[in-house]
Amino acid sequence: MKTFLAFVLKETRHILRDYRTIMVLFLMPVAQILIFGFVVTTEVQNARIGIWDQAKDNASLQLVQKIESSGYFRVEKHFRNRQEIDAAFNSREVALALVIESGFGSEMQQPDGASVQLLADASDANTAQILVNYSTAVIRDFEQQQRPLADQLSLPKVEVRMLYNPYLKGVYMTIPGTMAMVLILISAMMTSISITREKEMGSMEVLLISPLQPYQIILGKVVPYVALSMINAITIVAMGLFVFQMPVVGSWFWLFVINLLYILLSLALGIFISTLARNQMVAMFTSMFGLLLPTILLSGFIFPIENMPMVLQVLSHLIPPRYYVQAVKTVMIQGGGLAYMWQELLVMGGFLSLFLGLSVWKFQVRLLGQ
């Protein structure tokens, strides 16, 4: 028994001497609890909405004030016509629009009460349903306050219209996110493991002393995987189209451009990971866990970014899948073109240039060290 206790004590001391193990044991659970506690929530806070108040009477102004003070919504725009509403949804400036018809104040005094219209961006079906439920509750509470003696069964008439996804199909949200997750994992992981394996076998040194330039070595590694990754992208889109009946509303050309740019970005990220990883195991785990969790939590395809703390909102800007998901939704669901997604393409192009530049620099540093 003493021998066993001595062995346990020795192992305990060995564990405590390794600060990496201590960090994994104690810091990682705390970090995961904090991240999931803030991110994994169905609550709505500061949702971006727009209002078209055609009545502009005392009652409509009070309703607008109640919505603004509810804590659920942040009024981004005040519309003047239907065209401005359509433009705001296409550019993703708002997730919900409230339309107050003329004569709202006088209708409040009628037995049937007033009526309003809610327009929701249902490309994210879950968020759209939550926003409609919250706003409907605020509107009904407002009318009951204004008409305390009214029949409780005479609720305000709220006309709801779900844009882009009228049947609230969940695949409209999951397919773009699945594409982002699969492509970045497969592309980055395959590339990083392939290059790291050559480093372990010593064949990378042969390439480094060959007449090929560092950028030529990188391009030679990337090109074969581009075709393989495009096949994966086409397969996912085809399954969404034929199995789940999710149409591609916008341009197939721009969908191809988005996927090609994202695949190149993912491959460049994989190459950069390979320049840092010491072996294949490190490359695989870095690609899987370093990319999978941020893609799920911070890309916006499952959890609305607006609901997250400001620190995580800022951090999400550093996650390339966020821009890919937004661009794919713009084309596939909303039918938008370059005018509504050029910013996402520009950012992805910037990430591509950054990771390629860093990879070439790392290869040059290693070449000089040979």
The DSSP secondary structure of 153-177, one letter per residue, reads T---EEEEEEES-TT--THHHHHHH
Last residue in a domain, options 134, 163, 192:
163
Q: Assess whether 325 and 360 both reside in one domain.
A: yes
Whichever domain contains 118, its CATH number is 3.40.1710.10
311 in any annotated domain = yes
Q: Assess whether 222 and 144 both reside in one domain.
A: no
Last residue in a domain, options 146, 163, 180:
163
Nearest to 133 by CA among 113, 109, 164, 162: 162
Q: Assess whether 136 and 223 both reside in one domain.
A: no
78 in any annotated domain = yes
229 in any annotated domain = yes
Nearest to 245 by CA among 326, 336, 175: 175
How many structural domains are present in the chain? 2
Block means of pLDDT (10 residues each) for the chain, length 370 residues? 72 67 64 66 78 89 89 89 91 91 80 83 88 90 70 66 89 88 86 77 61 67 81 89 88 94 91 80 76 81 78 87 93 90 94 87 60
What would the two tokens of residue 51 be?
A: 């209002």
Determine the pLDDT at residue 292: 80
- Residue 335 structural domain: 171-368
99 in any annotated domain = yes
Distance (Å, rounded) from C-alpha 327 to C-alpha 333?
Answer: 10
Q: Assess whether 62 and 113 both reside in one domain.
A: yes
Q: Assess whether 192 and 265 both reside in one domain.
A: yes
7 in any annotated domain = no
35 in any annotated domain = no
Q: Assess whether 115 and 190 both reside in one domain.
A: no
pTM over 0.85: no
Which residues fall within 8 angstroms of residue 365, CB to CB, at 6 or more apart? none
Nearest to 291 by CA among 268, 262, 321: 321
31 in any annotated domain = no
Asked if 193 and 284 count as a contact pair (C-beta separation under 8 A), the reply is yes
